[in-house]
Amino acid sequence: MDFKTLNTELEKVYAKITRSIHVNTLPDLETLQEFTRMARMMPMFADEEWIGEAEDFAHLATQFFQAAKNRDFKTVVQLAHSLDDAQRLLPQDI
């Protein structure tokens, strides 16, 4: 898998997650687990210029999964906003 493929798949899974949040429902854990797995792969593709952002993104994804697992919807929403911001710092194409 290359960065572009990973990024495309990550965006698809994240869109499914955000649809759940927008209707005030916790995303299912299986989807969140897949998102977290892919987010943890991001640093493998990172250049030195953005490895810190990729690691931060992976950490946020892990926190996101844990908050959902604990059924903490307020924190899930807050972390979704943080993930939105973090995605803007990652390169969109390599």
Domain assignment present for 36: yes
Supply the range of the domain harboring residue 55.
3-89
Domain assignment present for 94: no
Tell me, what's the pLDDT at 22? 95
Token pair in block for residue 79: 């972390």
Eight-class DSSP state of 12: H
Domain count, the chain: 1
Domain assignment present for 21: yes
Q: Give the chain's residues under pLDDT 70.
A: 90-94
Name the residue type at position 61. A
pTM (predicted TM-score): 0.87
Tell me, what's the pLDDT at 14? 94
Tell me, what's the pLDDT at 2? 82
Tell me, what's the pLDDT at 93? 54
Domain assignment present for 60: yes
Tell me, what's the pLDDT at 3? 79
Tell me, what's the pLDDT at 92? 63
